[in-house]
Amino acid sequence: MKRLLIWLCAFCSILMPELYAKDDCCCKVSSHTTFVVMPQYQTGTPERITGFRNRIGVREDGCAGALEVVPIGGKTLKSSELAKFFTPFCKNKLSVSNNFKRDHPDLLSEHFNIYPEDLATQVPGVFNSNICMKVSQAVAGVGLTYRQGFWELPCSNSLLWFELAGPIIHVRNKVSLSEELSSDNTTLLNDGLPQNMIEAFKQQSWCYGKIDDCRSMHKTRLANLEIKFGYQWLKNDCCFFESFAGIIAPTGNRPTGHYLFEPIVGFGKHFGGEVGMTGVFQFWECCNSDIVFSFALDMNAWYFAQHIERRSFDLKDRPWSRYMQTYVSKDQAQQAADLAATDPTEALILSTPGINVFTKDMCVNPRMAKIVNSALVITGCHAEGEIGYNFFTRQAECVKLASCWKEGPALKDINQGAGYTNNLQTINRWTISPEVGDTQPLPVASYDLNLIKECDLDLESAAHPGFITHTFYGSFMWRWDELKFPCFVGLGGSFEYCDDNTYLTRWLGWAKVGFSF
């Protein structure tokens, strides 16, 4: 009992500082471009550890090996809340218009290449729309673990072992975009330009950050391969304790940035290392030993190495500025200015999509993640039940440009075009704030004064912030340890949530089958 109290105190000392450090805001993050999801069936996760902590050595006179196969499947919940991670202003429903003075929209339609046809008139037509975004993920796959003891120390219960494990996962992401048009019979410029926001988010001129719910976004890969070496310090009728160290070989896919919330299997090609320990401590048994109550504690830590990924980002204090129109160079601005006399419409719309400019190769460092799993295990003659709580936390990513920012792009003045630039406009206003008032756009001759500099970039918008998740789970196993090849089967399920929108809310179910040899 004293051992149990010591382990409980150690667990609380690790957990409590992290809990008090969290913010209780439901929408903590918005206008971010990259969402990183921890793959299922990792060390320390319920679907991985339940029923398999001490299976090697179960067979007497065996070779100290064990194998398990775990089909898994799950889905996210709260798709509207998850969408706020990506959208500006913590909204999943956004208003769109080409007249910010009258409508005060969330988005100006001109940034998305939506223009009324009567641009030359004093009072052009008005485009009005409301878009609603929902984001979800579904997964299915199978986890595999093979553990083998290879050296038992003489006159003791100590054993050296190695383990190979990894999940084959199918990830299906969906970003749904619905739209309600309310324009008053306004005719829009066509000529290959989008006629609504759904078309705008998948227009061909955009190379990155697109949304197309007609496109099937799914990947099937081996998420990662874990190679661990461990040492079983103690194993007897009342206690079990082991520790390990290992590496995580990246076998999944890396982000490309082409589509928002693209499916990533694994850790995005980041190589990692891990250390951890597992302890099971019996604290009560009935008189005939038919039923035993134990406390299980698993503690693990990962560290991931830096890697190059392609990600999009915003400008500082300007949510969704990655979608604002730009001139990629002074030459393009001059070309637009030259068209003003011969083709005013073309002079107005000529530009480069900001998403193409604000997407670059970036050095991404995921840094450290920790997981602590505590559980009550009830063991009978041929059955084992487990209920527990899993605590996972990960540091905020550290990101920086893989190469220096090359000055040249500038924000196009969408109200005037024709080579004019405006470094104070936002995705929903012609100026950065109401206090500034209407600004005077600068012509091509003053182009260099509005160049976007590296200090203007908000690289944090491309990084996944730090987060904490809580998982509650339960499982039930049937075991036949007296057979020549001891085997087990089982079922389990878990529910994971985060206090804010920095991570998913999702459920997961699994089945298990395995044997010792």
Other beta carbons within 10 Å of 23: 9
Cα torsion through 196, 198, 202, 205, rounded to 10: 20
Cβ proximity of 252 and 39 under 8 Å: yes
Contact (CB, 8 A) for 376 and 413 = no
The helix or strand, by DSSP H or E, that contains position 6, with its residue range, turns out to be: helix 2-20
Structure tokens belonging to residue 211: 């949304």
Among 54-58, 90-94, 470-474, the range of highest mean pLDDT:
470-474
DSSP string for residues in 43-109:
TT-HHHHTTTTT-TT-STTS-SEEEEEEEEEEEEE-HHHHHTTTSGGG-SEEEEES-HHHH--SEEG
Q: Per-residue pLDDT tens for 2-46?
A: 454 444 444 444 444 444 344 445 788 999 999 999 999 999 999
Confidence of residue 100 (pLDDT cuts 50, 70, 90): confident
If pLDDT is split at 50, 70 and 90, which confidence band does 273 have?
very high
Query: To the nearest 5 percent, what fractions of the chain are helix, strand and coil?
Result: 15, 45, 40
The pLDDT value recorded for residue 473 is 98
SS3 category, 448: helix
The Cα–Cα gap between 486 and 413 comes to 72
What is the largest distance, in Å, between two alpha-carbon atoms of the chain?
A: 97
List Cβ neighbours of 441 (8 Å cut-off, separation of 6 or more).
Answer: 413, 415, 416, 420, 421, 422
The pLDDT of residue 364: 97
Amino acid identity for residue 442 in this structure: L
pLDDT attached to residue 6: 45
- The runs of H, that is alpha helices, within 342-464 are 344-349, 354-357
Arithmetic mean of pLDDT over the chain:
90
Q: Is the pLDDT of residue 432 over 80?
A: no
The token duo for 193 is 């330009």
349/114 Cα distance (integer angstroms): 9
pLDDT tier at 120 (50, 70, 90 boundaries)?
Answer: low
Tokens found for residue 217: 């976004």
pLDDT of residue 213: 84
SS3 call for 347: helix
pLDDT at residue number 121: 62
If we measure between CA atoms, which residue out of 31, 72, 217, 209 comes closest to residue 136? Answer: 217
Retrieve residue 357's tokens.
């400019």
pLDDT tier at 52 (50, 70, 90 boundaries)?
very high
Question: Model-level pTM?
Answer: 0.90
CA gap 325, 420 in Å, rounded: 12
Confidence at 104, pLDDT banded by 50, 70, 90: confident
**Residue 272's closest CA among 401, 373, 168, 395?**
395
CA-based angle 192:194:198, to the nearest 5? 145
The three-class DSSP label of residue 349 is helix
Distances in Å between the Cα of 29 and the Cα atoms of 324, 346, 467 are 20, 38, 11
pLDDT at 184: 64
Q: Write the pLDDT tens digit of every residue in 347-393.
A: 999 999 999 999 999 999 999 999 999 999 999 888 999 999 999 99
Length of the chain in terms of residues written: 517
Q: Which residues contact 53 (CB under 8 A, 6 or more apart)?
A: 240, 278, 280, 296, 298
Of 83-92, 408-417, 437-446, minimum mean pLDDT range: 437-446
* Confidence at residue 4, expressed as pLDDT on a 0 to 100 scale: 45
Per the CB < 8 A criterion, the answer to whether 68 and 514 are in contact is yes
* Start-end of H helices in 100-174: 100-103
pLDDT above 90 covers what percent of the chain? 74
- Residue 22: the pLDDT is 42
Residue 89, Cβ density class (10 Å: 0-12 exposed, 13-18 middle, ≥19 buried) = middle
pLDDT recorded at residue 371:
97
Q: Which residue has the higher pLDDT, 8 or 128?
A: 128
Asked whether the predicted pLDDT for residue 285 surpasses 80, the reply is yes
Q: How far apart are CA 324 and CA 108, in angstroms?
A: 9
Backbone φ and ψ for 139, nearest 5 degrees, come out as -135, 150
| Nearest CA among 274, 268, 308, 211 for reference residue 36 | 268
Q: Among candidates 353, 94, 86, 95, which has minimal Cα distance to 206?
A: 353
The single-letter code of the amino acid at 48 is R
Tell me the CA distances in angstroms from 147 to 277, 291, 455, one per residue in order: 15, 27, 51
For residues 150-167, give the mean pLDDT.
87
- Average the pLDDT over each of 23-27, 56-60, 229-233, 237-241 and give the range with the smallest value: 23-27
- The tens digit of pLDDT for each residue in 164-206 reads 999 999 999 999 999 998 866 678 888 789 999 999 999 999 9
What pLDDT does residue 11 have? 45
Q: Provide the pLDDT confidence category of residue 433 given band limits of 50, 70 and 90.
A: low
Cβ 171 vs Cβ 139: under 8 Å: yes
Q: Is the pLDDT of residue 138 over 60?
A: yes
Q: Per-residue pLDDT for 475 more than 50?
A: yes
